[in-house]
Amino acid sequence: MASQRDIRRRIQSSKNIKQITRAMQFVAASKLKRAQEATLASRPYSDKLDEVLADLAIVLGGEDHPLLVRREGGKRLIVLITTDRGLAGALNTNTIRFAAQQITENAGDLAVVTVGRKGRDAMRRARVPLEAHFEGFGDKPAFADVLPLARLITDSYLDGTYNQIDIVYSMFVSTLAQKPSMMELLPVDPPEDTEGIPGNQIIFEPTAAAVLERLLPRYVATRLFQAVLESKASEESSRMVAMKNATENADELIEDLTLSYNKVRQSNITREMIEIASGARAG
């Protein structure tokens, strides 16, 4: 049985851990509010961009821009978005497992671009070819941050290096739920179920082809940015819940250790009293 001193040391260590996890919980909660607002605010813009693209697709065809061209076979690129830091529950594990499943189920010539160190390290361990790596975009991702990545992806598709490019990320559903998801980024597939105005009722200036030329690179960057925002909100919500659970577990451990400490203390007192009584009778 552990001594009183050992149990006291464990209680103090548990209290120290509890202070850290509680502080991290509050920090994650404050960051979550900002990340959630940014994510939810960007969704209507992405949806409206889909509507405009659908309107253009009615009057234009895939031959009007190379980003719309679907090429058979060829090499595939997966953009894997994870976090730089851990202590976010099962978020990274679920996202990486989802990406690994997509890779194994669709065997073929492929490479990966990673955003975040956790995904990079996992892909290196699995010996999946890495095309490039980007560090996470911090606590406040900006649209300008994803432009180098969007340019790399777009150029790789245009020069024929890859015939399909997908994004694997964690979609923010709610504070308690994050869903690993995959979205086909290139070739651009204009949505058919949007509620936009039919294309033949819209006048595009200067021309529909010119609008499409400017819109498609913006569309690719916007989709990437949306995935980054979704992943950031998922990270902070998952970290907040994980730290909350860790704090509660520390509380339970402290209670159990305190009970054990009291039992050992009572046992020691009883033993000492017996020894004193025995010594008095012997005297």
Which pLDDT tens digit goes with each residue over 166-200?
A: 999 999 999 888 999 999 998 887 766 555 555 45
Mean pLDDT confidence for 27-37: 92
pTM: 0.84
Q: What is the pLDDT of residues 211-255, one digit of tens each?
A: 888 888 898 999 999 999 999 999 999 999 999 999 999 999 999
pLDDT tier at 56, thresholds 50, 70, 90:
confident
Q: What is the pLDDT of residues 156-174, one digit of tens each?
A: 998 888 999 999 999 999 9
Q: CB-based contacts of 9: which residues, under 8 Å, 6+ apart?
A: none
DSSP label of 71? P
Q: Which residue has the higher pLDDT, 62 or 42?
A: 42
DSSP label of 242? H
Counting Cβ atoms within 10 Å, is residue 227 exposed (0-12), middle (13-18) or buried (19+)? buried
**Assigned architecture for domain 4-20+243-278:** Orthogonal Bundle (1.10)
- Per-domain boundaries in the chain: 4-20+243-278, 31-241
The confidence score (pLDDT) of residue 53 equals 80
Dig out the tokens for 49 from the structure: 């961009």
Q: Domain 31-241 sits in which CATH superfamily?
A: ATP synthase, F1 complex, gamma subunit (3.40.1380.10)
31-241: same fold as 4-20+243-278?
no
Radius of gyration of the chain (CA): 28
